[in-house]
A and B are shown apart, each in its own frame.
Chain A
Amino acid sequence: MKSKGGSSTLSKSITICSLGPLDRMIIEHVAGAISNRCGLRYKISSRMDSLKYAFDEKRGQYNSKLILKRLTELPLNSLKFLAITEVDLFVPILKYVFGLAQVGGQCAIISTYRLRPQFYDHEPNQDLLMDRIGKTALHELGHSLGLTHCRDRHCVMHSSTSIGDTDFKRSDFCPTCFELFRWQLENCGIRIKPRMPQS
């Protein structure tokens, strides 16, 4: 397990974990986003492999609700748990999801499946993929910290119901959402710098 910060700060960090095989760069990128955009500490947990329990044969997709439920049952010694997977996720009522988190819940999951330009018959584009992954990770992390969707289309907390929404928004919180994010963290005993500058 790689950790930024001492063991005393473990419970105040975000655990990032891959579910199934995943490009190491993706994990590093998400860790960077959490650290740079949110000023939060992170730790990278070892990979968890089998997602068979969540596979829906009829839909050929993975039920993200079941995965989230399983993750919530695991012992957690960090503030939030963010899982990343390459498989296609759904919730029963929706055709697909880019990610899932319970508002104010313990865990969040994101999928890179529909973030890859190739899914939309576009040329592979690593920068674009990383940008999308970073936004989706921050978005779900925001939900797990109690934030709901933002009306500002540029804010990372704006709802993404299509990849166009994800590409349109910026990789950061709007000032209001950031203040809410900070306030929620303070409630958890974590202080971060007031406004993270947009890079």
Chain B
Amino acid sequence: MSKMPRILVVDDEEAMRESLNDWLKEDGYEVGLAAGGQEAIDMVRDEPWEIILLDLKMPGMNGLETLKHLKEVRPDAEILMMTAYATVDTAVQAMKEGAFDYLVKPFDPDEVEILIKKIVKHKELILENILLRKKLEEREQFDEIIGKSDAMQQIFELIKRVAPTDSTVLITGESGTGKELIAQAIHGNSDRCYMPLIAVSCGALPESLLESELFGYERGAFTGAEHTKRGRFEMAHGGTLFLDEIGDISLKTQVDLLRVLQQKEFSRLGSEESIEVDVRILAATNRDLEKAIIENRFRKDLFYRLNVISIHVPPLRERKEDISLLAKASVRKCCLELNKDEVNIAPSAMKLLVDYDWPGNVRELENVIERALVIGGGKEIAAADLPFTGRASMREQFPKSLKSMEKIHIKRVIEEAGWNISRAARELDIDRQTLYNKIEKYEIKRG
């Protein structure tokens, strides 16, 4: 604690209050005095008293009652009960109610000093803990992106370095890995953060619509163009344009885009007039653009224009150490949205989450958590609340090779038929001889 804590003395006896006041002031503490419970509660409500020395036996509101109120008003204040010999039992009760400790009056000077120092140390540790946790969280989180894996730490570093520049960034990664969050973080940490971040999902729009979305159009440019419309490039002027699913745009739009990137100007559809824009481009794709170049589906020159700086977000299965962090963050976020108290994830459920391959990446994880919270409804997310419980266990239980699968399946059917070969053959829809051959081939034995 950098400054001396403030101590409030609550005692109905003036002599006690005054002598404690003098004694604590010698130690440099700022001391407040209250003659009763209600006065103490009012003082604590108005000002942040960190340590409270509270007498147990007071007329009106007694110490125990006062303690409860004080803890409600200021749960982080540490309360030391003061008592005479006769009320030690009650002092112990007070500790059960949340008091830090108790002192028997009159105090041994050594004892009270040690106790107060202990509280100060205790509060310092709590503060240190909070600061460390905050530091750790800062390290595990960059804006909305969460991850403690080396890969994510490198991405955080890269974002910090590229954000203040105007360089074009190509973000690659599977669907659901959080590419848009990376674009948001780059924009949010750039000088353009007070200007708009305009996102266009290129893959979601047909070619003609994408063109008009990007560049805008003049009234009458095509049938149905009743008003002049500004395109996303214009809207993003001064800010950032995020072109998501860039790998899905047509070759014609690629040419138009390349022109804007080279000349920093464009024309609305149906207009000859050039419009200059100051826009930073961020692009993202889940496709392998280098492969698309070989297959002539993507222009090499556009690729090089976009790929000035590249950030690859690895899939979740390649950074399993991030899963528990992401799962907990999803729980927090969903509970807030669903207006529920925060719940824990049972260790068995967490194991399933970590073991699962997450083809849909972070997006799938968030959906699974939301579903578990809605369907489960318990105080914690249990393994049974997870939709892929069966799938996950089947994956663990069954090998990938067809032969091994066949052996396991035949053995199970035979066992279910109680080793009645005719019945098992009927179930398997093969003749008895074939089944015998399989039993011999796979060395299936009665267990």
Contact = CB atoms under 8 A, between A and B. Distances in A.
A93 B28 CA distance: 18
25 contacts: A59-B106, A65-B18, A90-B106, A91-B22, A92-B15, A92-B16, A92-B19, A92-B106, A93-B15, A93-B16, A93-B20, A93-B23, A93-B106, A94-B19, A94-B23, A94-B107, A96-B109, A97-B109, A101-B26, A102-B22, A103-B22, A103-B25, A103-B26, A148-B25, A159-B27
A93 B27 contact: no
A111 to B, nearest CB: 13
A159 B106 contact: no
Contact of A161 (B15, B18, B106, B110): B110
A148 B22 CA distance: 11
Top-5 shortest CB links A-B: A148-B28, A91-B19, A161-B109, A161-B110, A92-B15
Contacts of B28: 148-149
Given A93-B105, A93-B106, A159 B19 contact: no
B195 to A, nearest CB: 52
A95 B85 CA distance: 14
A72 interface: no
Interface string A134-171: 00000000010000110000000001011000000000
B97 interface: no
A92 B55 CA distance: 14
B108 interface: yes
Given A91-B19, A101-B26, A148-B25, 14 more contacts: A65-B15, A65-B18, A92-B15, A93-B15, A93-B20, A93-B23, A93-B105, A95-B109, A97-B109, A159-B26, A161-B110, A161-B112, A161-B113, A162-B110
Contacts of B82: 93
A95 B103 CA distance: 12
B256 interface: no
A65 B23 CA distance: 11
Interface in B70-107: 82, 105-107
A103 B23 CA distance: 9
Contacts of B25: 102-103, 148
Contacts of A149: 26-28
A67 interface: no
Interface of chain B, helix or strand or loop or mixed?
helix
A34 interface: no
A16 interface: no
B26 A143 contact: yes
Nearest to B103: A93
A101 to B, nearest CB: 8
Given A96-B109, A161-B113, A162-B110, A91 B26 contact: no
B81 to A, nearest CB: 14
B303 to A, nearest CB: 65
A31 interface: no
B13 interface: yes
A42 to B, nearest CB: 23
Nearest to A139: B26
Interface in B209-262: none
Interface in A33-67: 59, 65
A83 interface: no
Contacts of B16: 92-93
A109 interface: no
Contacts of A143: 26
B26 A148 contact: yes
Contacts of A103: 22, 25-26
A144 B25 CA distance: 12
B19 A93 contact: yes
B404 to A, nearest CB: 72
A95 B105 CA distance: 8
B102 to A, nearest CB: 14
Interface string A94-125: 11110011110000000000000000000000
A109 B299 CA distance: 93
Contacts of A59: 106
Nearest to B22: A102
Interface string B22-47: 11011110000000000000000000
Contacts of A95: 106-109
Interface string A167-190: 000000000000000000000000
Scoring B18, B106, B107, B112 by chain A CB atoms within 10 A of each residue's CB, the highest score goes to B106
